[in-house]
């Protein structure tokens, strides 16, 4: 009975009493709000982009070369901008490949749809060693 009377008191106090409740005061991600907007049954642009995010694969082969290289093969239907440790190395057109030399060490390799490394990115982190050539293939999911 006490729970019911507490609920009645909160309801009669108006909306301000409810906003202090832990559930009603939690943050809602912007993506959750935008996906609720009416779109005529179509997902918004962000949902479409994440659904078609490129998937990278990495191959490693010993060549005996001094500095490690990475050959980027783009099988994704859009040009990809290649970043190593968040620095732009170059752009690889759809259906093309390019080879880049790297310093030995741990690097994060990211491909993105634009010169912004956060625009539909795919990343992986790898230890790049002297004597090896790496193949980075970008494909659509």
Looking at residue 53, its pLDDT comes to 79
CA atoms of 67 and 113, how far apart (whole Å): 28
Looking at residue 140, its pLDDT comes to 86
Looking at residue 44, its pLDDT comes to 45
pLDDT per position as a tens digit, 70-93: 999 999 999 999 999 999 999 999
| Domains in the chain: boundaries | 1-51, 53-140
Check: pTM over 0.75? Answer yes or no.
no
> 131, 74, 67, 129: which is closest to 97 by C-alpha?
74
Which residues of the chain are modeled with pLDDT < 70?
1-51
Considering only the top CATH level, what class is 53-140? mainly beta
Cβ–Cβ under 8 Å, residues 135 and 73 = yes
Looking at residue 34, its pLDDT comes to 36
């Amino acid at each position: 009975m006490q729970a019911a009377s507490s609920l009645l008191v909160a309801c009669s106090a108006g909306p301000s009493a409810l906003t202090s409740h832990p559930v009603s005061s939690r943050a809602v991600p912007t993506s959750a709000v935008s996906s609720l907007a009416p779109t005529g049954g179509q997902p918004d642009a962000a949902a479409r982009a994440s659904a078609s995010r490129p998937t990278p694969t990495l191959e490693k082969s010993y060549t005996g070369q001094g500095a490690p290289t990475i050959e980027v093969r783009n099988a994704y239907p859009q040009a990809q901008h290649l970043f190593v440790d968040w620095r732009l190395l170059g752009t690889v057109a759809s259906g093309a490949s390019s080879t880049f030399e790297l310093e030995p060490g741990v690097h994060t390799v990211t491909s993105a749809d634009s010169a912004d490394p956060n625009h539909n990115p795919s990343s992986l982190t790898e230890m790049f060693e002297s004597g090896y050539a790496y193949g980075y293939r970008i494909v659509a999911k």
